[in-house]
Amino acid sequence: MPQIQKILDEGWEYVTPPGPNSYNFETHTDSAGGIKFKWLSVRSFIADFRRPARPLKEKEKNLIGTWQETEDPNKGFWKKLLNIVFAQKVAVNKETIDFHKDHTFTLKTSLGISKEGVFYEYPSGEIELLYKHYPDQNSTVTIENGKLYRNLYSNPDEYERMN
């Protein structure tokens, strides 16, 4: 409860009431001693927060729309080769990110998995993506030369604007 109160004191507000009425199920795959096994985790106490509506800043306005991962995200020769081969054989789904005017986004992976979250500009100028139910995948984004880059500090993913 002290952590929740701190979030509320920073200007966030509840989207859903906190408590055990919301569940989030996640499946995991691990391996031990060469044996793969699956396990399920359940989070039963969830509190969704959002920042009160505020106007978009200039950097945030530049994100609005749909962005699609580029054909060649510069992740190495084999990934490039596989992209070319599969793109010619089947219709390859590319990862897309839809940014909305209400500071929310939806990322749809190439496997069709949807992940939602919110984005906002930090006082330092960085734009942060905060994923709902996937906090380990939170990342920053930037736009340079008409391209959007995600995961700036590791191996950046490159996207191009669709609309």
Q: Which domains does the chain have, with CATH numbers?
A: 1-52 (no CATH), 54-163 (2.40.128)
**Whole-prediction pTM:** 0.61
Summarised one tens digit per residue, pLDDT across range 116-149 is 988 988 888 889 998 888 888 888 999 999 999 9
Over the stretch 20-60, which tens digit does the pLDDT of each residue have? Answer: 666 677 888 888 878 888 888 876 666 777 666 678 899 99
**pLDDT of amino acid 73:** 42
Residue 150 vs residues 94, 111, 133: alpha-carbon distances, Å: 15, 18, 18
List Cα–Cα distances, 73 to 85, 113, 131, 150, in angstroms.
Answer: 15, 20, 22, 11
Lowest mean pLDDT among 17-21, 75-79, 133-137, 156-160: 75-79
> Does the structure show a pLDDT above 80 at 107?
yes
